[in-house]
């Protein structure tokens, strides 16, 4: 096997990976970015509405308000000191992106333009605030392009279309990763002092998802298989507005610009579920409302979808009702200018023109709040006490800091990846200066190579595509927006049956080496099955409802027993693993504790876990 | 409805399949609103797992699945069956070496992109207040169209000048340069114009216009190339783009 030696190996070339690459190389490290996609194909590029930062360019705003919204949005499971760092660092990170040339839209004062987004408020929930810095409705695209361009400028090493399939652990620290060069099918060893996982989420566990086909959770599954825990896996966000049946995301920015959700009797139903924030309540709240409306027989044509209406006459009517300034009223050109990609998606895929017709939307599996546990410097931690695994880093969706807690706020994924990609990159540059190379084990890569050989020889009757579809259907049905003991039990059983077929009855048509996507998709399915399994199991064990985890049989949040992060470990053979979940990792409540120490009366404590009201 | 796909295939790794050949697949129960990409997936997942293609986001944003569909460059995820009919011919994009089936070697394409300094340059001190550089929305809109590029290669591989001469940087690279040349905050416009006035720069463009309809992002590619040509002729990037009145 060819061996490549670099100080820092970064796995994944989305926002978190590229940010880490830039800052690690600026810090003097020799960096290699190893990615299964060309960097510009990464899923960061599909993020639409904006990146939150309390710049206050249009409304009065402060980082502490952003911290509060993040903690509240996360249903108090977010680590409060981490949320504070997120909100504070967001401002410098966004300004730095502008300095790198990111083409944000501008205000009349020539500053970065900002828009409203779900759950983002001023003065601890007082009113919605314009905080999401945007470049039309393609903010993620601009971030990804800008970071890739800066990496070209800084001559970062890229290994494009090298898919990482294993990590090399030597005496409890990480000595690098094993990757397959897709174009040749050859295995390569990347020997590094540090390895940084920025490999994205696993929305492809579900059948209706906004996620790219490539979001198969490779990094998280690799970590799990190598004995690392995954944190808070029961929390997976369903975004309320995916295009009906297709799952393609319709940005919350639509509602930020005044769009409203309407049921089959023409009612703006969010007024009942969230009297203050209405359509811009947090995503878990809105997704549940859509399901509840559907159950009450109020979905459009009885088919489980709602209308998202951003027609100027509708928006302006509600603006008038709310007593908004006439200057805020919109016309067709506002919609065209601010939401061009959304219009394009609807016109292309639905033949629906949102300027003249409402869009059919339903909740779509969108974002993993859980993942590889890290501290605020993106260092991977492996137990409830926060012990760091030397040489291991993670950031972005694949990681769990935790800043999103039980439910992520819109725009905070982009904030997360720039803030913690940046912090991790800096930390890693420091780290690699101070350590020696861990020697590579002689047989590095042998185990995973034989696993691939096993898959390639698959001569059974179960196609990966069929197994994947069955997994996605059972996850959607049983481990979706609402869960009960019964559905979770069923989900776990279905997954066990699929795992059995995956290991004993797989059919692989393509036996060749060059760009074998049949083989790679099968291996990715194995990753998805593991992640689906730990999601269902932690969901089954957490007997409360919090944020995106909604148990109908335990429908209240229970801070007394469950205000804790979960850590789940996989043991035994991959074909028949056992799992061990612990719910003893403390949630950081330091901001609340400070308030208590200052002697603030309860009513004035902003960070005390209370019931969420939007 | 039934739809017949005729797909150009090749696998250098399997004897007898090294040379390009056509293979037909028939799909039943196809809906006119199905994406071509979904149908290629159905072929791969239900009939022949060895069919090889790149794809990721499946909604026209990542730029992975550029291919030649019924003779025209398209993203397979952004074209529906109702747009292509009951007989669909799919081939790899032209002008780049085929790796396998619909997958081409993108290295030359990205190398051309990297030639044009596709990154922001401004060496002035940062604003003293620690904030963003200022820009008017009108200046921001001057280069809006070319910021949309997703580097899918639909334009470059539809260009006869590129087919004839692989050294030509091609429309996508010029679009990439245009995005910075006309950004009022950037300072390397003159250098980029120098690079593009070389023999394999903009002057290889014969204004054939294939690139513009090929673009899945509706970028006015030929117009952008024209603006770069004009900037080179006038020796300046100022006053080239007619600004539409600010909305």
- pLDDT > 50? residue A23: yes
Q: Chain A residue with minimal CA distance to B142?
A: A103
Residue A360 contacts residue A307 (beta carbons within 8 Å) = yes
- pLDDT > 80? residue A524: yes
Do B56 and A214 make contact, defined as CB atoms within 8 angstroms? yes
The strand ranges marked E within B105-180 are none
**Rounded Cα–Cα distance for residues A365 and A238 (Å):** 4
**Rounded Cα–Cα distance for residues A566 and A261 (Å):** 34
Q: Which CATH number fits domain B107-234: 1.10.1370.30, 1.10.8.590, 1.10.1060.10, 1.10.10.10?
A: 1.10.1060.10
| Residue B127, CA distances (Å) to A228, A443, B123, B130, B133 in order | 44, 53, 12, 6, 6
- pLDDT > 80? residue A258: yes
Compute the average pLDDT of residues A253-278. 96
- Which residues are paired to B22 by β-bridges? B8
**Rounded Cα–Cα distance for residues A235 and A547 (Å):** 8
Compute the average pLDDT of residues A47-64. 97
Within 8 A of A133 by CB-CB distance, chain B residues are: none
Q: What is the mean pLDDT of chain A?
A: 97
Residue whose entry in the numeric block shows the structure tokens 């194995």? A526
**Interhelix angle for A446-456 vs A517-541, to 10°?**
110
Report yes or no: B60 at the A interface, CB cutoff 8 Å.
Answer: yes
Q: Chain A residue with minimal CA distance to B12?
A: A514
Report yes or no: B245 at the A interface, CB cutoff 8 Å.
Answer: no
The pLDDT tens digits for A425-449 are 999 999 999 999 999 999 999 999 9
Banded pLDDT at B245 (limits 50, 70, 90): very low
- pLDDT > 50? residue A462: yes
Per-residue tokens: A168:
């090399």
Report yes or no: B15 at the A interface, CB cutoff 8 Å.
Answer: no
Of the candidates A351, A352, A325, which has an alpha carbon nearest to the alpha carbon of residue A258? A325
The pLDDT tens digits for A126-169 are 999 999 999 999 999 999 999 999 999 999 999 999 999 999 99
Per-residue tokens: A400:
């769990």
Within 8 A of B33 by CB-CB distance, chain A residues are: 349-351
- Chain B, window 188-217: residues with a beta carbon less than 8 angstroms from a chain A beta carbon: none
The pLDDT of residue B243 is: 57
- pLDDT > 60? residue A482: yes
Do B140 and A105 make contact, defined as CB atoms within 8 angstroms? yes
Alpha helices in A505-558 (DSSP H): 517-541
Do A46 and B106 make contact, defined as CB atoms within 8 angstroms? no
Q: What is the DSSP string of B62-106?
A: S---EEEETTEEEEGGG-BHHHH-SEEEEEPPTTS-EEETTEE--
Do A101 and B120 make contact, defined as CB atoms within 8 angstroms? yes
Q: How far is B135 from chain A (nearest CA, A)?
A: 5
Do A43 and B52 make contact, defined as CB atoms within 8 angstroms? no
Do A146 and B120 make contact, defined as CB atoms within 8 angstroms? yes
The pLDDT tens digits for A295-352 are 999 999 999 999 999 999 999 999 999 999 999 999 999 999 999 999 999 999 999 9
The pLDDT tens digits for B72-120 are 999 999 999 999 999 999 999 999 999 999 999 999 999 999 999 999 9
Do A103 and B122 make contact, defined as CB atoms within 8 angstroms? no
Residue whose entry in the numeric block shows the structure tokens 């790198």? A100
- Which residues are paired to A116 by β-bridges? A130
The answer to whether the pTM exceeds 0.95 is: yes
- Domain residue extents for chain B: 3-104, 107-234
**Predicted interface score ipTM higher than 0.85:** yes
Q: What is the mean pLDDT of chain B?
A: 96
The pLDDT of residue B247 is: 36
The pLDDT of residue B242 is: 73
Do A152 and B119 make contact, defined as CB atoms within 8 angstroms? yes
Of the candidates A409, A449, A480, A382, which has an alpha carbon nearest to the alpha carbon of residue A174? A382
The pLDDT of residue A53 is: 98
Report yes or no: B233 at the A interface, CB cutoff 8 Å.
Answer: no
Residue whose entry in the numeric block shows the structure tokens 């990757």? A179
- pLDDT > 60? residue B244: no
**Rounded Cα–Cα distance for residues A576 and A568 (Å):** 16
B3-104 in CATH: which number? 3.10.20.30
A483 is catalytic: no
Within 8 A of B11 by CB-CB distance, chain A residues are: 512, 514
Q: Chain A residue with minimal CA distance to B60?
A: A345
Of the candidates B153, B151, B133, which has an alpha carbon nearest to the alpha carbon of residue B67? B153
- Chain B, window 152-181: residues with a beta carbon less than 8 angstroms from a chain A beta carbon: 180
Residues A470, A473, A475, A478, CA torsion sign? negative
Which domains are assigned to chain A? Answer: 239-364 (3.90.700.10), 446-562 (1.20.58.100)
- Best of B11, B14, B119 to substitute, by most chain A Cβ atoms within 10 angstroms, is B119
The pLDDT tens digits for B126-174 are 999 999 999 999 999 999 999 999 999 999 999 999 999 999 999 999 9
Q: How far, in whole angstroms, is CA A227 from its chain's centroid?
A: 22
The pLDDT tens digits for A529-581 are 999 999 999 999 999 999 999 999 999 999 999 999 999 999 999 999 999 99
The strand ranges marked E within A127-204 are 127-133, 157-160, 162-170, 173-181, 186-197
The pLDDT tens digits for B176-199 are 999 999 999 999 999 999 999 999
Choosing from A115, A122, A204, A283, which is the catalytic residue? A283
The pLDDT of residue B246 is: 40
Within 8 A of B44 by CB-CB distance, chain A residues are: 465, 517-518
Calculate what percentage of chain A has a pLDDT beyond 90.
100
Within 8 A of A248 by CB-CB distance, chain B residues are: 58-59
Within 8 A of B137 by CB-CB distance, chain A residues are: 105-108, 110, 113
Within 8 A of A159 by CB-CB distance, chain B residues are: none
């Amino acid at each position: 096997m060819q061996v490549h030696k670099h100080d820092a190996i970064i796995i994944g070339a989305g926002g978190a990976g590229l940010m880490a690459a830039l800052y690690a190389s600026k810090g003097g490290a020799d960096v290699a970015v190893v990615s299964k996609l060309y960097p510009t194909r990464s899923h960061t590029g599909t993020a639409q509405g904006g990146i939150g930062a309390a710049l206050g360019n249009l409304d009065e705003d402060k980082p502490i308000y952003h911290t509060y919204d993040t903690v509240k949005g996360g249903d108090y499971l977010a680590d409060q000191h981490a949320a504070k760092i997120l909100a504070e660092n967001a401002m410098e990170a966004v300004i730095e992106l502008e300095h790198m040339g990111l083409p944000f839209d501008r205000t009349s004062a020539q500053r970065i333009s900002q828009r409203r987004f779900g759950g983002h408020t001023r003065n601890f929930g007082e009113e919605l605030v314009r905080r999401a810095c945007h470049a039309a409705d393609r903010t993620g695209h601009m971030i990804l392009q800008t970071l890739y361009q800066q990496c070209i400028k800084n001559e970062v090493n890229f290994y494009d279309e090298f898919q990482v399939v294993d990590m090399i652990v030597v005496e409890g620290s990480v000595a690098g990763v094993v990757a397959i060069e897709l174009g040749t099918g050859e295995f390569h060893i990347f020997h590094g002092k540090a390895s940084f996982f920025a490999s994205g989420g696993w929305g492809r566990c579900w059948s209706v998802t906004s996620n790219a086909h490539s979001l198969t959770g490779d990094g998280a599954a690799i970590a799990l298989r190598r004995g690392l825990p995954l944190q808070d896996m029961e929390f997976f966000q369903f975004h309320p507005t995916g295009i009906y049946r297709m799952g393609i995301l319709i940005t919350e920015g639509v509602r930020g610009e005044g769009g409203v959700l309407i049921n089959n009797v023409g009612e703006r139903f969010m007024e009942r579920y969230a009297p203050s924030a209405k359509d811009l309540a947090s995503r878990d709240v809105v997704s549940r409302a859509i399901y509840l409306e559907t159950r009450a027989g109020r979905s459009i044509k009885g088919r489980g979808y709602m209308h998202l209406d951003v027609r100027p006459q509708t928006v302006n009517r509600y603006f008038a009702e709310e007593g908004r300034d006439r200057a805020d009223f919109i016309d067709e050109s506002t919609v065209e200018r601010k939401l061009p990609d959304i219009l394009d998606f609807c016109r292309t895929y639905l033949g629906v023109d949102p300027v003249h017709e409402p869009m059919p939307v339903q909740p779509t599996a969108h974002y993993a709040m859980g993942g590889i546990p890290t501290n605020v410097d993106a260092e991977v931690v492996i137990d409830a006490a926060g012990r760091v695994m030397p040489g291991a880093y993670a950031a972005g969706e694949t990681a769990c800091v935790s800043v999103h807690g039980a439910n992520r706020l819109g725009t905070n994924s982009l904030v997360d990846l720039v803030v913690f990609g940046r912090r991790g990159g800096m930390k890693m540059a420091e780290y690699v200066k101070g350590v020696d190379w861990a020697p590579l084990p002689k047989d590095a890569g042998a185990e995973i190579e034989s696993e691939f050989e096993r898959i390639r020889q698959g001569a059974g009757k179960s196609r990966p595509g069929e197994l994947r579809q069955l997994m996605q259907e059972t996850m959607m049905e049983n481990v979706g927006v609402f869960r009960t003991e019964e559905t979770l039990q069923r989900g776990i059983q279905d997954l066990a049956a699929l795992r059995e077929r995956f290991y004993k009855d797989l059919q692989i048509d393509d036996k060749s080496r060059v760009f074998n996507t049949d083989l790679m998709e099968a291996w990715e399915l194995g990753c998805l099955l593991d992640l689906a399994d730990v999601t269902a199991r932690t969901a089954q064990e957490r007997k409360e409802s919090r944020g995106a985890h909604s148990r109908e049989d335990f429908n209240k949040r229970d801070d007394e027993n469950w205000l804790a992060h979960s850590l789940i470990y996989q043991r035994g053979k991959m074909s028949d693993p056992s799992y061990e979940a612990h719910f003893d990792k403390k949630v950081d409540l330091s901001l609340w504790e400070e308030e208590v120490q200052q002697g603030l009366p309860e009513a004035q404590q902003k960070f005390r876990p209370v019931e969420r009201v939007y | 409805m039934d739809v017949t796909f005729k797909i150009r295939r090749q696998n250098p790794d399997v004897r007898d399949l090294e040379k390009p050949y056509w293979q037909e697949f028939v799909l039943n129960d196809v809906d006119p609103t199905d994406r071509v990409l979904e149908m290629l997936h159905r072929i791969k997942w239900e009939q022949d797992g060895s069919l090889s293609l790149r794809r990721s986001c499946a909604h026209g944003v990542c730029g992975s699945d550029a291919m030649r569909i019924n003779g025209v460059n398209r993203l397979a995820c952004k074209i529906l069956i109702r747009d292509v009919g009951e007989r669909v011919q799919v081939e790899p994009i032209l002008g780049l070496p085929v790796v396998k089936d619909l997958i081409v070697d993108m290295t030359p394409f990205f190398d051309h992109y990297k030639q044009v300094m596709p990154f922001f340059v401004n060496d002035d001190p940062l604003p003293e207040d620690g904030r963003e550089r200022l820009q008017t929305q009108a200046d921001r809109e001057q280069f809006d169209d070319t910021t949309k590029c997703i580097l899918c290669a639909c334009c470059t591989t539809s260009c006869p000048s590129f087919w004839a001469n692989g050294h030509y940087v091609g429309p996508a690279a010029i679009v990439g340069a245009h995005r910075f040349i006309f950004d009022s905050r950037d300072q390397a416009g003159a250098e980029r114009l120098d690079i593009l006035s070389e023999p394999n720069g903009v002057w290889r463009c014969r204004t054939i216009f294939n690139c513009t309809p090929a673009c899945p992002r509706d970028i006015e590619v030929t117009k952008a190339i024209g603006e770069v040509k004009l900037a080179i002729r006038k020796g300046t990037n100022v006053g080239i783009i007619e600004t539409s009145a600010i909305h």
